[in-house]
Structure 1
Amino acid sequence: MAARVWLVITILCVPYVVSLHFSTDCDENSDWNFRAVGKHVKTWLNSFQIGPNETSKFDSISIFEHGQVEFVGKIDAEGFADGPFWVAGGYDLQSNFSNGYFYGDLDQNGQLSGNDIVFLYPDMKTALWGIFINGTMISAKEAVIVAQRCFDGVKRLRLSLSPNDEDFHFGRPNHMRFNFNPTQTDPYERKRVNVRETNDRGQGLFAKSRIEPGDVVAYYAGLIFDSKTHEMFSPNMTQSQVDEIHRMLIVLEGDLEMNLPRPYWELAQYRATLGHKVNHSFHQTNAEFIMSYHPRFGWIRALRATKRVSRGQEILVDYGYPIDDEQSPAWYLEAYHRYQDSCAKS
């Protein structure tokens, strides 16, 4: 039995629009289009325009405050889901695509559950396709969106499985274990970045193709712990011990922090995500850390481009350690003072 649409869940925020009229660039049905698929999908998701207070063309729709589509789909005359729904992975004020989108038919409880659910990465081309239960990935394969079309105002997708037959599943890390395969590489990152040696900073993260401002560049998942209950620093630590802890440590949210301990610093032991390989810069930054949803790990950190990055260019970010914190790495404080001196002289 088809799902009643009013059971569709709100992901993060209470929507402010539910039943206004919307117009998009998908108002007319179209044939399958196999070119620039990701671009066309993004254009459609960005094209929703609020019009006069009339009956909604889409029957079931929620829009985040700044205009991002939270979920959209069609219902039939009896109030049941009619065709696939699009559901945002989460809310992001800066970009409509940083958290990806789910795509698929709703089950009898109005949830994204079944054997044919898709998670689309931020490029709207790379996907994980398989079994999900209420949006949680149970078992999925890497896929690519090969075609899209407009049908009843909603984008329909055609997918093709990747030759890579690896199985992906959700596993939320904690302070003791990853709960996922640390050497299984990410399909999206494989297309975007690689790790290479730099001239003076050890390994670094480099763009494999041109990256536009606002694009997600890479992800950073690691062991997650509560800093209140799992204190990593102690007063009797040496500066080198403090620096070692800081090497891969990043604040996740609130008191939650994320880290990769020494055994996982090398790619041979850990390559599930590559964001931890990004180097620091005060003045050449082209990326920033953001919160991002990932179907394998849940809410983690990601790198988002702040300016255009050319193919082969190194990704650089300001680590943003507190300058007045004694537990900040010594190298960072020294680099900061050198940077301040150079700014004063220029």
Structure 2
Amino acid sequence: MLRYTKWVLSRLRSVKSFLLGLLIIYLAMSRRGEENHIDAKIDTAAAAKTTELRYTANLRTTFEEWLKIMKNLDVSKFKSPTSGKSDARKMSLFDLCLADKVQTSEQVTEEEDSTILGEVTGEFPVFRPLIFPPGTVCHDELEIYSVSTKMTAGVASGRTEITFKDNNVMQANLHRGVINGLVRKLRCKYGHCDIVLESEKESLEEEDEIEATYLGQLNVYTGGQPETSLYGWWFPVGGGALYCTSNENDRAEGDSCVYLYADISTGIVGQWKDGHMVEGRPALLQSFVMSSGLLKPEMKILEDREPYYYFQSTNTTIAHHPMVTDIFEDYHVYISTSTIKDAGEGIFAKTDFEVGDLVAIYNGIRLTEMEHRVSKESRRSPYSIHGWENMILDIPKKYQSLKNYKATSGHKANHSKKPNGEYFLCEHPRFGEIVCVYAKKQIKANEEIFVDYGYIEKYLKTQSAIEGMLKFAKHVGGFEENETFKQEMKRTLGFFREKIEDIKPYLAAAKMAKNFLKS
């Protein structure tokens, strides 16, 4: 108990954390007994049996404090509930790579010869990892870029950190090359580290490397494979968390899974298969208990509400149940007449939001850029927005009325040059990869939510510039008939539409020249 107390005190950074730590110690001491044994050393997360550690304070604060602990936890000290379990599955992580030629970061820098992994012995910390170059099995087949661990003739042991080709990271404890115990996965903001929004590129220096600093997953392995009998946590892009058992491919799968929205209050309880929700019921978080070393959410299912089903929209179908509202939005936002004159409807806050909080959800039909360009309705739609992998999300005219679509309301946010909200990519259990609205500043209840439509304005300005250039071309070319000019310029107009991004610098230069002549 003394070692646990020292561990907690060494990590307390605030009065809030201190009070939480005292609560944990008190509950641990008061509940120790032969029949209901609790090993309260959260740094080792030992729990051979389900415990009854309950928190009655703010559940979101409790969860966030626990995540901080788990993110910094030494995975080699996690005492798995399955430790000592006899299991025939023994999959050594690097067996297929023993013939690979590897290099340390120093060898790569100095262009020295590589070494066969099976002959490597030594310790390779995070700042001096072993690197698998292209052409090796680990690099090409397992998509591993580097590993930091203790090697003995190519066999990894102890605390190990693996960096994959997409810069995502896995941290685990290995025994004779086999993963056992807690596995922690870290990801970049939008999952894959090569995904960066255009709006964020300006704030990144060219030499900046995007690092995996977001918690992506926490679950337990036995014999080198996910322990399918135990629950773990997945953390989707955009916030929220999923508590579920795992299949052998390390994806969420089970009949009693719990998804918590980013408010850590509303949620969905139901069946998941291969990482996707099959069917779920809206629910509310009641409490947390400690189970097998990890927090477990206890939920109250709202029986009077309709169930949810996973369906990622297509280019024609926005949702299977477009009138079934989202439980998170039901508790946090509402639609009313906008405070902007003649703007129609707007979206308003039911509750207070802090900076970074999830505010609303933006689902729509999914179009490729080409489908968006050839569709006159989509091109003119005020609701078109860029989503994942250059897909366009849009709300067709049919679904712009609340009489036909209520599943999400993020598209109802109106424009302001001083917005209190902003769009980011997110993952939703019901709609898949979509876009969500997040608080850019503090928002009070009953305030209207605004976002910046700047990207739309830039597009329209570019279109106006193109039209001006075409009018000039018509005059210079001597075309008198509009139809003749349109036929001649049709291909040119199409070319301009395809190359809008390429001509922007020239338009900017022309604007600068115009301003110079005025001065």
TM-score normalised by the chain length of structure 1? 0.75
CA 1:258–1:77 in 2, change beyond 3 Å: closer, same or farther?
closer
The equivalences for 1:4-83 within 5 A come to 31-50=53-72, 54-56=76-78, 59-64=182-187, 65-75=211-221, 80-81=227-228, 83=230
Greater displacement, 44-53 / 60-69: 44-53
| CA–CA distance in structure 2, aligned partners of residues 262 and 111 of structure 1 | 37
Greater displacement, 63-72 / 197-206: 63-72
Corresponding residue number in structure 1 for 2:404: 269
Corresponding residue to 2:356 among 206, 209, 214:
214
Shift of 1:227: 1.8
Corresponding residue to 1:84 among 231, 235, 238:
231
The equivalences for 1:201-240 within 5 A come to 201-232=343-374
- Amino acid paired to 1:288: E
CA 1:216–1:26 in 2, change beyond 3 Å: closer, same or farther?
farther
The secondary structure found in structure 2 opposite 1:142 is strand
Shift of 1:71: 1.2
Greater displacement, 203-212 / 57-66: 57-66
User: What's the CA shift string for 1:159-198, capped at 9, x where partnerless?
Assistant: 1101333111111111111242111100111111001112
CA 1:316–1:118 in 2, change beyond 3 Å: closer, same or farther?
same
The equivalences for 1:173-322 within 5 A come to 173-199=313-339, 200=341, 201-232=343-374, 245-283=380-418, 285-322=419-456
Shift of 1:122: 1.0
| Aligned residues of 1:148 and 1:156 also touching (Cα < 8 A) | yes
The equivalences for 1:118-129 within 5 A come to 118-129=258-269
CA 1:170–1:274 in 2, change beyond 3 Å: closer, same or farther?
same
| CA–CA distance in structure 2, aligned partners of residues 324 and 316 of structure 1 | 18
| Aligned residues of 2:44 and 2:77 also touching (Cα < 8 A) | no
CA 1:249–1:327 in 2, change beyond 3 Å: closer, same or farther?
farther
Stretches of structure 1 lacking an aligned partner (at least 5 in a row): 1-21, 91-97, 235-240, 331-346
RMSD over aligned Cα, in angstroms? 3.0
User: What's the CA shift string for 1:289-341, capped at 9, x where partnerless?
Assistant: 000101111111110001110011111110122545347799xxxxxxxxxxx
The secondary structure found in structure 1 opposite 2:330 is helix
The secondary structure found in structure 1 opposite 2:373 is coil
| CA–CA distance in structure 2, aligned partners of residues 249 and 300 of structure 1 | 12
CA 1:329–1:46 in 2, change beyond 3 Å: closer, same or farther?
farther
CA 1:24–1:42 in 2, change beyond 3 Å: closer, same or farther?
farther
CA 1:300–1:153 in 2, change beyond 3 Å: closer, same or farther?
same
User: What's the CA shift string for 1:122-181, capped at 9, x where partnerless?
Assistant: 112211111111121111101112110234541112111013331111111111112421
Shift of 1:37: 1.8
- Amino acid paired to 2:67: L
| Aligned residues of 1:224 and 1:256 also touching (Cα < 8 A) | yes
Greater displacement, 271-280 / 60-69: 60-69
| CA–CA distance in structure 1, aligned partners of residues 456 and 298 of structure 2 | 48
| CA–CA distance in structure 2, aligned partners of residues 144 and 205 of structure 1 | 23
| CA–CA distance in structure 2, aligned partners of residues 254 and 43 of structure 1 | 33
The secondary structure found in structure 1 opposite 2:283 is strand
Greater displacement, 197-206 / 271-280: 197-206
| Aligned residues of 2:228 and 2:246 also touching (Cα < 8 A) | yes
Identity %: 23
| CA–CA distance in structure 1, aligned partners of residues 44 and 77 of structure 2 | 18
| CA–CA distance in structure 2, aligned partners of residues 129 and 328 of structure 1 | 47
| Aligned residues of 2:354 and 2:439 also touching (Cα < 8 A) | yes
CA 1:50–1:35 in 2, change beyond 3 Å: closer, same or farther?
closer
CA 1:169–1:317 in 2, change beyond 3 Å: closer, same or farther?
same
- Amino acid paired to 1:161: I
The structure whose RCO (Cα within 8 Å, separation 6+) is larger is 1
| Aligned residues of 1:142 and 1:164 also touching (Cα < 8 A) | no
| CA–CA distance in structure 2, aligned partners of residues 26 and 111 of structure 1 | 22
| CA–CA distance in structure 2, aligned partners of residues 210 and 26 of structure 1 | 34
CA 1:23–1:113 in 2, change beyond 3 Å: closer, same or farther?
same
- Amino acid paired to 1:116: S
The secondary structure found in structure 1 opposite 2:398 is helix
- Amino acid paired to 1:306: K
| CA–CA distance in structure 2, aligned partners of residues 53 and 222 of structure 1 | 41
Bigger radius of gyration among the two: 2
The secondary structure found in structure 2 opposite 1:325 is helix
| CA–CA distance in structure 2, aligned partners of residues 25 and 192 of structure 1 | 37
| Aligned residues of 1:25 and 1:44 also touching (Cα < 8 A) | no
User: What's the CA shift string for 1:48-104, capped at 9, x where partnerless?
Assistant: 3546795455522223345332111335689735631001123xxxxxxx2322112
| Aligned residues of 1:132 and 1:139 also touching (Cα < 8 A) | yes
| Aligned residues of 2:369 and 2:390 also touching (Cα < 8 A) | yes
| CA–CA distance in structure 1, aligned partners of residues 224 and 391 of structure 2 | 45
| CA–CA distance in structure 2, aligned partners of residues 316 and 25 of structure 1 | 45
